[in-house]
């Protein structure tokens, strides 16, 4: 994917910020940061890949590409930019480095973790493989490089069903999200062996909370991320990845909708859909929220924090990531 930034035009950036208001954000307050980042991107031959959970001041300004975990991995694998700044969490930056080792990958805050990635180690996977010899291991990308290195293939919430089906196995070890795993189990024929990980953001939603939204807002549509518990997914009109949820709103243009996921999604999508009322239960991901315009600027200024992976681990992890990317090759990411 060739990346060429247009020549820097600070006046055009200020004009765009002023004419496309972002909720709760003063254009004048962020203009200098946005211009500084745009200048640094050109100096460093860098792109900013931003997850859909970034705040609107990042998502709608300095992001060269936005997307779900799968789209970000696909974009990272094919970019020819020298530097990738991952506006997302650490496992996303590590996945970018695994997928495209020749690039310099920066994460603006090293503490931007994930409760799922923290729930399992490579040693845990080795124990499971000894317990279930010959059973293929499908690992959510929300994991460390060590865990990916022990896996047969990775998946994201956007392709988990497709990946499990592609293996054609009667039994699959699915790691580490118990809720995504249960949802996948409800969609496939294979028996799924689960781990006990959970997303600290999505596990807090409840079915009762969603039933209350239906009572309070007649005709509301409910769309949910598959990291939510089963009683939440049972209430949903649609279940899908963050990209799937955004596409669903674009296709169905509901009068009112609740996106059962991280807060910033609704903020970002509402900018594009002024005709839709977004009811916003607010569960923030504290890890995603560590990424700010300020630390993106610092990342590019000081080339920090560079993501490095032991080459032997990276080579093994790459097999699992590449296999996922091959299976999902036909999926459109732009």
Contacts with ligand 13P, residue ranges (CB under 6 A): 52, 68-69, 142, 156-158, 199, 225, 227, 241-242
Report residue 328: phi and psi, to 5°: -95, 15
The residue (of 30 and 317) whose beta carbon lies closer to ligand 13P is: 317
- Residue among 67 and 122 whose Cβ is closer to ligand 13P: 67
Q: What span, in angstroms and rounded, lies between the C-alpha atoms of 52 and 265?
A: 6
Positions in 286-315 near ligand SF4 (CB under 6 A):
287-288
Kindly state whether residue 142 participates in binding ligand SF4, applying the rule CB under 6 A.
Answer: yes
Which one among 27, 31, 116, 296 touches ligand SF4, defined by CB under 6 A? 116
Q: Could you tell me the smallest distance in angstroms from the CB atom of residue 110 to ligand SF4? A: 15
Q: Report, in this order, helix, strand and coil percent for the chain, each rounded to 5.
A: 45, 15, 40
Q: Which is nearer to ligand SF4, 285 or 314 (CB)?
A: 285
Q: How far does CA 128 lie from the centroid of its chain?
A: 26
Ramachandran assignment for 327, one of left (phi > 0), alpha (psi -120 to 50 degrees), beta (any other) = alpha
Give the C-alpha separation, 122 to 255, whole Å. 46
Asked if residue 201 binds ligand SF4 (CB under 6 A), the reply is yes
- 153 contacts ligand SF4 (rule: CB under 6 A): no
Site for ligand SF4 in 249-268 (CB under 6 A): 262
Helices (H) and strands (E) in the chain, counts: 15, 12
Per CB under 6 A, which region of 35-43, 196-204, 251-259, 315-323 contacts ligand SF4? 196-204
Report yes or no: 49 and 71 within 8 Å, Cβ to Cβ.
no
Q: Which stretch in 39-47, 181-189, 281-289, 290-298 sits in contact with ligand SF4 by CB under 6 A?
A: 281-289
Task: List CB contacts of 9: < 8 A, sequence separation 6 or more.
Answer: none
CB 16 within 8 A of CB 92: no
- What is d(CA 22, CA 26) in angstroms, rounded to the nearest whole number? 8
Residue 68 site contact among ligand 13P, ligand SF4, none (CB < 5 to 8 Å, cut-off depends on kind): ligand 13P
**Should residue 89 be labelled a site residue for ligand SF4 when binding is judged by CB under 6 A?**
yes
Q: Which one, of 52, 96, 92, lies nearest residue 76 by Cα?
A: 96
Candidates 330, 311, 327; CA nearest to 153 is 327
Which of ligand 13P, ligand SF4, none interacts with 40 (beta carbon under 5 to 8 A by kind)?
A: none
Q: Return the range that interacts with ligand SF4 (CB under 6 A); candidates 10-18, 155-163, 193-201, 209-217.
A: 193-201
Q: Measured in whole angstroms, how far is the alpha carbon of residue 47 from the centre of its chain? A: 17
| Count of chain residues binding ligand SF4 (CB under 6 A) | 13
| Residue 73 found at the interface with ligand SF4 (CB under 6 A) | no
Contact pick of 33, 115, 143, 144 for ligand SF4 (by CB under 6 A): 115
DSSP string, 79-127: ---SEEEEES-HHHHHHHHHH-TTSEEE-S-TT---TTGGG--HHHHHH
When the beta carbons of 33 and 69 are compared against ligand 13P, the nearer one is 69
139 part of the interface to ligand SF4, by CB under 6 A? no
Q: Is 285 in the site for ligand SF4 (CB under 6 A)?
A: yes
Of 38 and 227, nearer to ligand 13P (C-beta) is: 227
- C-beta of 70 vs 149, nearer to ligand 13P: 70
Are 92 and 114 a contacting pair, CB within 8 Å?
A: no
Q: Which residues bind ligand SF4 (CB under 6 A)?
A: 89, 114-116, 142, 199-201, 227, 262, 285, 287-288
């Amino acid at each position: 994917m060739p990346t060429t930034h247009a020549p820097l035009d600070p006046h055009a950036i200020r004009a765009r910020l002023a004419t496309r208001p972002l909720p709760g954000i003063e254009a004048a307050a962020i203009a200098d940061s946005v211009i500084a980042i745009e200048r640094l991107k050109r100096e460093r031959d860098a792109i900013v890949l931003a997850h859909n959970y970034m705040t609107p001041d990042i998502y709608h300004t300095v992001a060269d590409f936005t997307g779900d975990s799968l789209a970000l991995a696909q974009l990272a694998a094919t970019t020819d930019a020298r530097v990738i700044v991952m506006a997302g969490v650490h496992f996303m930056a590590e996945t970018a480095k695994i997928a495209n080792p020749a690039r310099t990958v920066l994460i603006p805050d090293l503490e931007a973790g994930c409760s799922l990635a923290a729930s399992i180690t490579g040693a845990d996977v080795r124990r499971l493989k000894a317990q279930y010899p010959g059973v293929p291991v499908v690992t959510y990308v929300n994991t460390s490089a060590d865990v990916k290195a022990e896996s047969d293939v990775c998946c994201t919430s956007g392709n988990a069903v497709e990946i499990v089906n592609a293996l054609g196995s009667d039994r699959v070890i699915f790691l580490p999200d118990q809720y995504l795993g249960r949802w996948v189990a409800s969609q496939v024929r294979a028996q799924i062996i689960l781990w006990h990980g959970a997303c600290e953001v999505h596990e807090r939603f409840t079915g009762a909370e969603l039933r209350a939204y239906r009572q309070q807002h007649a005709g509301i549509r409910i769309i949910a991320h598959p990291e939510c518990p089963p009683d939440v997914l049972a209430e949903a009109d649609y279940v899908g990845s963050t990209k799937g949820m955004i596409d669903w709103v674009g296709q169905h243009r509901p009068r009112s909708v609740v996106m059962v996921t991280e807060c910033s999604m609704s903020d970002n999508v509402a900018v594009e859909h002024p005709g839709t009322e977004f009811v916003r239960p607010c569960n923030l991901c504290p890890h995603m929220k560590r990424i700010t315009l300020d630390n993106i600027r610092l990342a590019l200024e000081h080339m920090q924090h560079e993501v490095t992976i032991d080459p032997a681990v990276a080579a093994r992890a790459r097999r699992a990531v590449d296999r996922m990317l091959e299976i999902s090759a036909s999926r459109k990411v732009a």
